């Protein structure tokens, strides 16, 4: 069940209007704002208002998984791709085909994985670890960050091309102190 986006401030009403306007597009959305402002609530509302709401809403916190596990979780792997890969595993991106994939704390995604995500963001194709075939997916990406991503691009911590593919539509969620209504 989706938590409703509540509030009557101009900024919240504008965000609700933007959600209604872009929910049924396939455009990627980047939600920015401080920790605790409700970025995930905005992502869930985008999903529930979209034509993709009958399919999966898959979320992953990029800061919560070690880099060594993150790639296999995102892309999956083929049997024998590495020690312990006893059978094929579908990755979370492929699993979310037809639905929405939410990358929380996207600014924590390692730079080498940002490069690998470009194919998925641009061409909607991925390759499982140890695989040869490109797999076509149909996924809408919604990302969230509590950090200044423009600054991170300038510092070289976020790839510019990755950032611009995520940030097709930007929704900035202001802190509660700025929306006391």
Coil, helix or strand for 23? coil
The tally of CA atoms less than 13 A away on the side-chain side of residue 148 is: 4
pLDDT above 90 for 181: no
Q: Provide the pairing of β-strand 140-145 with 100-104.
A: parallel
Q: At what angle do helices 10-22 and 39-48 cross, to 10 degrees?
A: 40
Q: Are 30 and 153 in contact (CB under 8 A)?
A: no
* 114 contact partners, CB below 8 Å, separation of at least 6: 158, 159, 162
pLDDT above 70 for 21: yes
Least confidently predicted of 7-11, 118-122, 145-149, 153-157? 7-11
The Cα 123–Cα 138 span in angstroms is 10
pLDDT above 70 for 1: no
Per DSSP, 126 falls in state E
**pLDDT tens, position by position, 58-114:** 999 999 988 888 999 999 999 988 888 899 999 999 999 999 999 999 999 999 999
The confidence score (pLDDT) of residue 121 equals 96
Q: What is the pTM of this model?
A: 0.93
């Amino acid at each position: 069940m989706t938590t409703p986006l509540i509030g009557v401030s101009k900024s919240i009403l504008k965000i609700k209007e933007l959600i209604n306007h872009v929910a049924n597009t396939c455009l990627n959305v980047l939600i920015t704002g401080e920790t605790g402002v409700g970025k995930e609530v905005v992502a869930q509302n985008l999903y529930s208002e979209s034509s993709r709401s009958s399919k999966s809403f898959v979320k992953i916190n990029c800061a919560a998984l070690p880099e060594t596990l993150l790639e296999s979780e995102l892309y999956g792997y083929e049997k024998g791709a590495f020690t312990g890969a006893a059978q094929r595993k579908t990755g979370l991106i492929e699993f979310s085909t037809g639905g929405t994939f939410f990358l929380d704390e996207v600014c924590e995604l390692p730079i080498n994985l940002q490069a690998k995500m470009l194919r998925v963001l641009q061409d909607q194709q991925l390759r499982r670890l140890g695989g040869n075939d490109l797999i076509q997916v149909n996924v809408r990406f919604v990302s969230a960050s509590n950090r200044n991503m423009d600054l991170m691009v300038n510092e070289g911590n976020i790839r510019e091309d990755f950032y611009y593919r995520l940030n097709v539509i930007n929704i900035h969620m202001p802190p509660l102190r700025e929306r006391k209504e």
